[in-house]
Amino acid sequence: MLKFHRALAMLAMLLFPFHPAGAAPGAVVRTDTGAVRGERAAGLDVYRGLPFAAAPLGELRWREPAPLAPWPGVRPATAFAPACMQQGVSMPGETPPAVSEDCLYLNIWAPARRAGRPLPVIVWIHGGGYNNGSASMPLYHGDALARRGVLVVTVAYRLGALGFLAHPELTLESPHHTSGNYGLLDQIAALRWVRRNIAAFGGDPRRVTVAGQSAGAMSVSALLAAPLARGLFQRAIAQSGGIFEPLQLAPGYRLDNAERDGAAFAAARGAATLAQLRALPAAQLLGNGAEALAHPLVDPHVLPLTPYEAYVQGRQHDVPLLLGSNAEEARALVDVAGVTAAGFAAGVERSVGALPPALLAAYPAASDEQAREARLGLERELRFGWDMWAWARLHAAAGGRPAYYYSFARRPPFPAASVYAGWGASHFAELWYMFDHLAQAPWAWSDGDRALADNMARYWVNFASGGDPNGAGLPRWPAFGGADPADQLLRLEAPIRAGGVEQLERLRVFDAVYDGVRGRPFGAR
C-alpha cells in the first residue's frame, strides 16, 4: 500500500508539477536518464532536486553510489530534495532541513537558455563538518552568481556514519578492498553527472570549478588528490578548510584504525553483523559517537595518498587554485567567555588534545584578556590558517597552475541581538559576500559591504571562467609565490588590498612542529 501511495504521488507530480509564485515552467532538458523540467524566473532557469545516483537505501547503504534507473516522461525539478541524514545544523541560525537517507540530488541555477558559447560551471560542496549541511540552504543558492554568467550546481553527499563508516565486513565485500569515503564517492558521482549532462543545461563540461567551504573545502583538497576525480574539474576553490596536517596526528584517517572504530560503533548499536547494521533505521546511526567517524580516510581506492603526500609526490591534479581563510575564523566556533590565563593550557588540551610546548608558547596568555585572544588565534591557525597557507605553498612549489590566496577580513554588520553577535570576520562570514547574498539578511549593510560583495562575486566568476580572478575594474590579485613577500595574498576588506601573509611567525612554528612529526622539512620529497 505504501508503494501504491508513493506511485500515486509521483504521478500527481508528473501531471501537475508545482511552480512557486512568480515562476513559470522551464524548458524541458534531456539528461542521460530522462527528461526534466525546472522553472524559469527572473531570467534564470532553476532545477531543484535532480537525482545523480540511485537512492542509497537497503543493500545500497555503504556502497558506492549506484547508477540511476531511467524514468519515463518528464520529471519535475521544482522542489528541493531532503538533505542527507543529520542532526543539528551546519551553521548557527540555519533552519534545520528536512532529512532522508534518499538524498543524492543536486540543484542547478543557470542563465535562461540562449545560443552562444557554453558557460562555466561552479559545483558547490557544502560544509558542516561532514556531519550536517544541505545543498538547498538559501545562502548557497546560485541565483546571484548565475546572473553574472555561470551555472551554479549545489550537491548533496552522505554525511556522518552513513557517509564515512569503515568496517572490516564492508572492506571484505568491497571489490576494491576498502570501505568508508562514501561521501567523497558521492561528490565524484555528482561531478561525473555534471560532465555527462551539464551541456544540456548550457554549461561547459570543460570549464568546471569544484568549490567548497569548511568541510566542503576539505573535500576539495581530497578531490585534488583522488585519482577517481581526475579530469572532472578544471579549477578549484577552497574556503577555510584543507587536509594537510601529518597523518601521524590523525590516526583515525588510516583505514585499519577507521575499521576498528567502525566495528566499535556497530557493536555499540547491537549490530553483530553487517546485515544487522544495514537493517537499522537511519536515525539510529546518528549521534552517540557517529560524529567521530565523519571524515575522509586514506584508502587504496578513493584517496590512496593524503593531499599533502599527493602534492609532495607530484600526483595532485594540476588546476588553478583560489583559496584562503578568514581573519577571525574561531569567533563563530569557540566560546571564549570563560577562558582565563590560569586555565588556558588545560582548556586547550580538553578541546584539541595535548599540544607540543612550542605551539603553546607561540600564544602567550599572561592575562585573561590575552588568554582569550590567544585561544581564538590558536584555533584559527590550527584549524584553518596553517592548512590554507601550507596548501598555497605546496601548490606554488609544484610549479604548475597558479594559486590565488586571500584573507577575508571584513566584519559584517551582525546585529548585537542576533545569533551572530560578536562574530566579526569569522568562519562563514565570507559566504554572504561571495554568493552576493547580502539581501538575504536585513542588516545595516554599508556601501563598502556592497562593493566588497560585488567584487568578490566578480573574482569568483572570473576565476571559474578562465582560471584567473582578475578582470577590468577589479583591484589586482597577485598570484601566490611571487618574489615580493608583501604581495602574497589579497586582503578582502573595504578597500581590497594586496599584502603579506598574516601571523607568519606563528605559522612557522606550526611548520617546525609538523616537520618534527613527519621527520622531514615541510614539502620535502
CATH of 26-319, one of 3.40.50.1820, 3.10.180.10, 3.90.870.40, 3.40.50.720: 3.40.50.1820
**164-187 confidence digits (pLDDT tens):** 999 999 999 999 999 999 999 999
Reported confidence tier of residue 27, pLDDT bands at 50, 70, 90: confident
Smallest CA-to-CA distance from 319 within 144, 123, 132, 499 is with 123
Catalytic residue among 94, 259, 329, 381: 329
Q: Is the pLDDT of residue 15 over 70?
A: no
Catalytic residue among 179, 214, 221, 325: 214
Pairing of strands 203-213, 151-155: unpaired
Reported confidence tier of residue 443, pLDDT bands at 50, 70, 90: very high
26-319 matches 324-525 in fold: yes
The Cα-based distances of 329 to 214, 326, 360, 424, 491 in angstroms read 11, 5, 19, 9, 14
Domain ranges across the chain: 26-319, 324-525
Half-sphere exposure of 418 (CA within 13 A, CB side): 17
Residue range 324-525, CATH number: 3.40.50.1820
DSSP letter, residue 155 = E
Reported confidence tier of residue 525, pLDDT bands at 50, 70, 90: confident
Reported confidence tier of residue 17, pLDDT bands at 50, 70, 90: very low
Per-chain mean pLDDT for the chain: 93
Asked about 427 being catalytic, the answer comes back as yes
Smallest CA-to-CA distance from 440 within 420, 467, 424, 463 is with 420
Half-sphere exposure of 43 (CA within 13 A, CB side): 10
DSSP lists the bridge partners of residue 208 as 121
Pairing of strands 44-51, 24-31: unpaired
**191-235 confidence digits (pLDDT tens):** 999 999 999 999 999 999 999 999 999 999 999 999 999 999 999
**366-375 confidence digits (pLDDT tens):** 999 999 999 9
Query: What is the per-residue pLDDT for 437?
Result: 98
The Cα-based distances of 414 to 140, 251, 450 in angstroms read 19, 39, 15
Q: What pTM was computed for the model?
A: 0.94
Asked about 214 being catalytic, the answer comes back as yes
Catalytic residue among 126, 141, 427, 437: 427
